[in-house]
Structures are given as structure tokens and as C-alpha cells.
Homo-oligomer: A and B are copies of this chain.
Amino acid sequence: MSDNWSGEAHVQGLLAFEAALARAEARAEARAGIIPAAAAEAIGCACQVADFDVPALFREAAVAGTPAIPLMRMPTERVAEDGCGYVHWGAISQDAIDTSLVLQMHGGLDFLTEGLRSIGEACATLAERHRDTPIAGRTLLQQALPIPFGLKAARWLALITRQLARMREARARVSVVQLGGAAGTLASLGAVGPRVTEMLAEELGLAVPDLPWHAERDRVAEVAAALGVVAGAMAKIAGDLVLLAQTEVDEASEAAAQGKGISSALPQKRYPVDATLVRASARLALGVVPLLLAAMELEHERAAGAWQMEWEALPALFGYTAGAVARDALAGLDVVAVRMRANLNLTRGAILAEALSMALAAKVGQQAAQEVVRKLTERAMREDIPLLRAAEQDERTRAVLSSEALVRLFDSQEYFGSAGIFIDRALAEFRALAA
């Protein structure tokens, strides 16, 4: 991802724009282009990033206030006689810069898609493998009900699948060429402007936007928001992993690696390093998103500040999001099923209070059932006995539920509801999208 947003990559994009523009202008009219074909060819030859001194260009750009002006001068200097008068014909700096940013966003979205797909695979593997591994479902960090660990993984998977869909949509939305000329009218190209735009888009594999969008940045804001949602998704999964890895919970820990997550002074510890750094990266990404939303408020036909900020903000946002996606804390996750089961027993069966309550409710009504179970739970906790024992000793319960029924109730394997259906659904949707 850092290559994708380097100075070289940006200059490459600028040059791709210039070369494509020249070709488009040479092809734009049926009989003859608005610039000579030979000029387009000469420009195409000159637009090789390797021939440019990129650091020097950016030094000049810092003075000029824009990278495009010094960068445009240089191909001009390099283009042979018959082409040099036609470089950048009718375009303005922002046309080149925005189009280059679009090409970079493309690359960035592809990188993220790849990373998400790989994380999705890891989730899918966990969802399948742990379809029947019970773990405590936790609400407000209190044990609520047993769920299969595979359902937890399936929910992460569904989250990833929805991000993959979002990346695809964002890519489609933002893949439009920018060509408006000095103030968005394409006046410099006379009547042939829309035709050149079409040719240019075709050359670069982009679409033609409804209108030039130099001063209406909702497409960029939308991509930023989509990355923010991806970062949030990564943070959700990483946060769960950090909590599962707590010493007192110890239900999952990251794959070990040489020198990873150790503490010299405290040899007993193995830190969840990947999840920790994913959370750090995700926060950094989320810090950039509001800037790109706020950048929509800009002055007239080109911003004095908000647009220039994008040049830093977009690389930062893609870089941080990549940091959250590239570290796969799930691959090789060490799942400790035995601890999951042990933790489920911490409340001595109270985690299945709902199962008992629903079974009773079917016989005596919901309110009466909840009242009975509330009392049984209190008694079990007070006397530190299993809830099953308390239930077996309770007359009202025994009146409607047999001992076998009670024992079956307290086997968490039997109280997974629709979890299996949900797991299958998450797997199917991921497979369909990833295919």
C-alpha cells in the first residue's frame, strides 16, 4: 500500500493522465484529432516516471503550491519538437491530480479487497471448524447464553462480506475521470470537450462522470467513509480477540511467532500484538475520515485548503486502513475450546437460566416462569450450588419438567437455536461474493 501512495505513484498517475489525454485529443474527432497523432505519440513516449526526478519535483511543488505545475513543465521539456506544444492541452492541474488520485484509489481499494478476502477466509475456516464449540455469549461483558464460537466467527465473516461489497461499490463510484479545464466548463476544448472526456476515460479504463467534480467531492468523501467502515469492522474483530486473550478468559490467542508479543521482564505473557496494532491502525484511519467529509465544504470552483488537504489525507487514510487489514490476527488463531467450556461453567449453570425459563414458560406462562427462575438463580448463587440442582429441588419446576428434561436443558450443546443456520448463511454469502 505504501508503494501505491508514494510520490512516484502519484507522478506515474499524472503522467498516465497526460499521455492518455494526448491520445484522446488525437482521436477525438472523426476526421482529425484536435492535436496531431504524432504529438500524442511523442507525449506518450515522454511520460515515463523513471525519467523524472520525483523528489526534485515535489520540492518545486512545495513552492508552487501544487505538484502539477512543475510536473507539467517537465514532460514538455522532454517531448520532441512536434509534440511539446501539445502537452496538457486544454487541461488544468486539478484534472491531472484528481485523475491520478482516482487511479491510486483504485489500486488502494484492490489492496484492501485482497486483504479483506484473506481475513474472510480465516473467519470462514473458524466458522466451519467451531460450528459446535460452545463459548459464552457476552453482553456488556457479562455472560448471557452459550453460543457456538463458530457463530461469532460467522458474524465477523458476514461483516467482512459486507465490506467486500462496499469496496466493490466504492470502486465503481469513484472510478471516474476528471476533466473540466480551468473552471469546469472545458471551454479550452471548444465543442469537442465531452468527446475528449469519453476518449480519455476509455484510455484510462475509467467511467465518464455526470459533470466535472472538481468542487463537489462527495465521491471522495464516500470512499473515505467506506474505508472508515472497514476500519471499524477490523477494530470490532481485533477488540473481540483482545478480550478473548485476557489472562482470566484465555479462550484464544494469536499465532505465536519468533520475537512476537513477548516481554523480557515478564516471561509468562504473550501479548495479542496483531490485534493491538490493528486497533491502533483502525483508530488512526477513523481520525482521517471526518476531514474528508468536512472537505466537501469548499469555495466555489476550487478549494483554498480543503482540496490540498486531500493530497495528504488520502494516502494517510489508505495507509492506516491497510495497516488494519494487512495484519491478520485471525490466521493461525489458537482457539482454546477447553477454556471456553470451563468459563461456561463459572456461573454453575446460571448462563442457561433462559433455557430453563423458556421451558417453564411453555407450561406456566412467561411471567410465572421468569419469577421462578429468578428465585432459583438467586438461591443457586446464594448457596453456591448449580442451577440444575436448585431446579431439581424445586417443586414448581419438578411439577412440569422431568429430571431428564432438566439435564438436557443444561447441556449447552442443545441450546444453540438458529446458530447453525446463521453460520451457513454467512458462509454461503461470503463464498458467493468471493467467487
The answer to the question of A263 belonging to the interface, with a C-beta cut-off of 8 Å to chain B, is yes
**Listed residue (A166, A259, A301, A419) with the most chain B CB atoms within 10 angstroms of its CB:** A301
The answer to the question of A174 belonging to the interface, with a C-beta cut-off of 8 Å to chain B, is no
The answer to the question of A333 belonging to the interface, with a C-beta cut-off of 8 Å to chain B, is no
* Contact yes or no, B377 A267, CB < 8 A: yes
B-contacting residues, A235-294, CB 8 Å: 235-236, 238-240, 242-243, 245-249, 257-284, 286-291, 293-294
* Contact yes or no, B184 A151, CB < 8 A: yes
* Contact yes or no, B182 A266, CB < 8 A: yes
Closest B residue to A94 by beta carbon equals B139
* Contact yes or no, B297 A313, CB < 8 A: no
Closest B residue to A378 by beta carbon equals B267
Q: From residue A89, how far is it (CB to closest CB) to chain B in Å?
A: 6
Q: A185-B145, A267-B378, A299-B240 are in contact. Are A287 and B291 (CB under 8 A)?
A: yes
Q: A184-B147, A194-B421, A246-B248 are in contact. Are A286 and B293 (CB under 8 A)?
A: yes
Bound: A147/B257 CA distance, A: 30
Partner of A289, one of B63, B293, B343, B365: B293
Chain B neighbourhood of A84, CB < 8 A: 365, 367
Bound: A281/B262 CA distance, A: 36
Interface string of A164-188 (1 = CB under 8 A from B): 0010000000000000011111111
The answer to the question of A114 belonging to the interface, with a C-beta cut-off of 8 Å to chain B, is no
* Contact yes or no, A301 B137, CB < 8 A: yes
Q: From residue A237, how far is it (CB to closest CB) to chain B in Å?
A: 9
Q: Which of A1-9, A48-56, A224-232 contacts B (4 or more CB under 8 A)?
A: A224-232
Closest B residue to A86 by beta carbon equals B366
Copies of the polypeptide in the assembly:
4
* Contact yes or no, B193 A417, CB < 8 A: yes
Closest B residue to A249 by beta carbon equals B248
Q: From residue A428, how far is it (CB to closest CB) to chain B in Å?
A: 9
The answer to the question of A406 belonging to the interface, with a C-beta cut-off of 8 Å to chain B, is no
The answer to the question of A368 belonging to the interface, with a C-beta cut-off of 8 Å to chain B, is yes
* Contact yes or no, A304 B284, CB < 8 A: no
Q: From residue A311, how far is it (CB to closest CB) to chain B in Å?
A: 8
* Contact yes or no, B140 A271, CB < 8 A: yes
The answer to the question of A207 belonging to the interface, with a C-beta cut-off of 8 Å to chain B, is no
Chain B neighbourhood of A374, CB < 8 A: 267
Please give the number of chain A residues whose Cβ is less than 8 angstroms from any Cβ of chain B in the complex. 169
Bound: A305/B282 CA distance, A: 9
Q: A194-B421, A296-B233, A381-B268 are in contact. Are A301 and B144 (CB under 8 A)?
A: yes
* Contact yes or no, B64 A367, CB < 8 A: no
Bound: A93/B264 CA distance, A: 9
Q: A279-B305, A374-B267 are in contact. Are A185 and B248 (CB under 8 A)?
A: no
Q: Which of A11-19, A347-355, A395-403 contacts B (4 or more CB under 8 A)?
A: A347-355
* Contact yes or no, A85 B365, CB < 8 A: yes
* Contact yes or no, A238 B140, CB < 8 A: no
B-contacting residues, A289-320, CB 8 Å: 289-291, 293-306, 308-309, 311-313, 316, 320
* Contact yes or no, A85 B289, CB < 8 A: no
Chain B neighbourhood of A216, CB < 8 A: 155-156, 158-159, 233, 236
* Contact yes or no, A137 B300, CB < 8 A: yes
Q: A141-B243, A267-B377, A346-B248 are in contact. Are A163 and B218 (CB under 8 A)?
A: yes
Known contacts A145-B183, A225-B293, A279-B309; 17 additional CB pairs below 8 A are: A88-B264, A92-B265, A137-B184, A139-B183, A139-B263, A141-B300, A144-B183, A145-B182, A191-B418, A218-B229, A225-B226, A265-B353, A276-B304, A279-B305, A283-B291, A283-B305, A284-B309
Would you list 9 pairs from A and B whose C-beta atoms are within 8 A, ordered by A residue? A85-B366, A86-B366, A142-B246, A147-B301, A161-B210, A163-B218, A187-B416, A211-B422, A283-B309
Closest 4 CB pairs of A and B: A137-B183, A279-B305, A232-B296, A187-B417
